Each structure stands twice: as C-alpha cells, then as structure tokens.
Amino acid sequence: MTSTMICTRCVMDNSNPHISFDEAGQCNCCSDAFRRMPFEWFRGADGRQRLNSLVERLRMEGRGKQYDAMIGLSGGVDSAYLAHMLRTEFDLRLLAVHVDGGWNTEPAVRNIEILVKSLGIDLHTHVIEWSEMRDLQLSFLKASVLNQDMPQDHAFFATLYRTAHLFGLKHFLSGVNFSSESIIPPGWGYTSIDGKHVKSLHALFGHEPLTTFPIMGAFEYIWMTRIRRQLSIHRPLNFVDYDKQKAKQELISLYGYRDYGSKHSESRFTKFYQEVFLPQRYGFDKRRLHLSSQIVSGQVTRQEALAELDTPICDPRQARQDVKFVAKKLQITDAELQEIMKRPPVEHTAYPNNSKLFRSGISLKSLLRGWSRR
C-alpha cells in the first residue's frame, strides 16, 4: 500500500495519482499556482488600473442598453461579494443569473434575495424541471463517474450563454478567483461543458425525457464561444486583494449574509458530493484544494490548514443525514444510494463524449467558419 505523502509547502497529497513531488517535497499543484500567480492575480495599483479599465469598457459598451454586464449569483461568498463590490463602488448595471436545479439551501436562497433587493439588481432565475434534473442526477450516479456536479454545472453553463443571447449581453463577470481557487490538480475531474457526454449518460441510465433541460451541444458551444463570441468572461476579483474570510465578514455586517458552511455548499447535492461521496468513493478531501489555494495566497498557514484537516470533513451523524436527504430527494432508498457509492469508479471517457472535439477547438473553428459560408 502506498504511504500518504503531503506536500511540504501546501497540503495537497498523493491521493490523486497525477500529483508529483520534487526533491524538496513540494507538489506540482502549488508550484504551478506560484508560477501562474504574477499572470493571474493583480493587486495594488496595477490591479486597480485593470479593474477601472474593465469598468470603463463595460460602461462604454453598455451605453443605450439595459445592462452593462451579467453576473452569476449562487448565494455563495465569491459571487455575492463581487456583486456588492461592483454595485457599491462602480454602480454597474448588472443582470444576475441564477439556475435553480432543485438543490438550493435555504441560506443560499435568502442570501440571493437580500442581495438583489439591497443592491437594486435585476435577477433572472431559470428553474430546472425537477423530474428531469432528478433523472439526470441519478443517471450520473449510476454511471459511476467522478464529476457528479456536471448536471448542475452544465445547466448553468448552457443557461448563461442562452441568457446572454436573449438579453444581447456580451460580458459575464465571474466570481472565480485566484485567491481561493488557484490549485488545479492535474487529471482531476471532467469538463462540464460536454453536452454529448450529458446526453450519452442519460441515454444509458435515464428514463425521463429531457425535453426542457438546457443542454449545449459541441457545435452550439463552438458557435457561441469561438465563432459568434457571445460572451467575454472576466474575473474582477483577480484585480483586488481578495480575502474570502474578510469578504464574508463584510457581507455579514452589511447584509446579514448567512454562512452555509463549506465551499460550494449552497447546493445540498454539492455538499453531499464533496463531504460524503468524494471521501468515501475516492478517499479525497476537497478541503485540500481550497486550503492549499489559501496557503498560496498567504491567507492561511500550512499549520492552520493541517489543523483543519485533522477535523472530520463532516461528522458521521451529519453524513448519514446528508445521504438520507439526497436519497429521499432522488426517490431512492438510503441503501440504494450507499450501494451506488460502493460500485467501482468508471472513467468519463468510457462513455461517449466530445473531449477530442473540444481539444481541437482551432480546427473546429475553421471548419465551422467554412460551413457557415455555404
């Protein structure tokens, strides 16, 4: 049995076989993050200049239109703080987009409601038909693949581009940030944009027709992103000295923001996925990614991170409650869900997919341009 090895600089370990360590015991994940930092995270005067330039561009291109840009709102800290910053400091006219896949926690819903009301932001919510979401979520569980958040993530991705087209918007402001999300494990996960993969898993394991679920196929994706260039995606939090904990405290003070727990736990399914499914199925504690990112950004020490990892990701009683909740919502028994989680993992690429198509984006762009001239 391979012994556990933990990076001497961050807290990533060898539970992912693609992670390697140098002579000093430092992993390729944090080494890559430190290499990228000067090119992705701009603080001080440089960051302020970049942020001001972005805002001026949005204002200029938004003249005569209803909105300057779109922003996603999940109820989480990053997107909430971004909305707060852009409205209070720059008075940008924002359209907030939220996709309700049926897994929202009560605090997340409340956070969204109070933010849009307090900040005067219009909210566009797309509600996924629950019978279809349930069937697709079960299909992914039965397929035994790693990325169980793909149904929710793909729905948001497809809805985002279609909403942009509906409102004639060209800019999306994302809460994704280097400060708390710099660690990217190699070979981990599978892209959520692959609509063919979504359809293939549902065709094999699903039963409910996906008549309204937003699925974006490869050609629509290439058309919207490479040919039509519907959206430019910006990450304004990379232009400020963003500290997630300080941002959370500011949101609590100003809006009565309610903390929902761990990162991305605004979704009850994502909470189950990160705190129960991944540790039990793959022996992976996703807190390592988030804590290692904060170590890179200097907001948490390695000792503090190790101390947090010494505590259970969730207590056994809470894990049982999460399993019970997810099983009941999916209309299966606790035992059925536990049996599904014990099945051998299957690689995403074992099922039909368009991964090669996405990797060959340049040739596809040329192909589609030629096709569009016919």
| 3-state class (DSSP) for residue 247 | helix
Indicate the average pLDDT of the chain: 91
Cα four-point dihedral sign 302, 250, 275, 130: negative
Proportion of the chain above pLDDT 90, given as a percent: 79
Domain spans in the chain, listed from the N-terminal domain onward: 42-350
**Mean pLDDT of the region 197-223:** 91
| 3-state class (DSSP) for residue 281 | helix
Place of tokens 């000792």: 303
Pairwise CA distance, residues 51 & 42, whole Å = 9
**Mean pLDDT of the region 356-366:** 56
Q: Strand pairing partners for 125?
A: 98
Pairwise CA distance, residues 237 & 248, whole Å = 14
Pairwise CA distance, residues 277 & 314, whole Å = 12
Amino acid 229: pLDDT: 72
CATH code for 42-350?
3.40.50.620
State the Cα torsion 281-325-261-244 to the nearest 10°: 70
| 3-state class (DSSP) for residue 298 | coil
Residues 343, 148 contacting (CB under 8 angstroms): no
Amino acid 261: pLDDT: 65
Amino acid 344: pLDDT: 94
pLDDT digits (tens, 9 = 90+) for 29-53: 999 999 999 999 999 999 999 999 9
Residues 229, 165 contacting (CB under 8 angstroms): no
Residue 306, pLDDT > 50, answer yes
Q: What is the pTM of this model?
A: 0.91
pLDDT digits (tens, 9 = 90+) for 335-352: 999 999 999 999 999 999
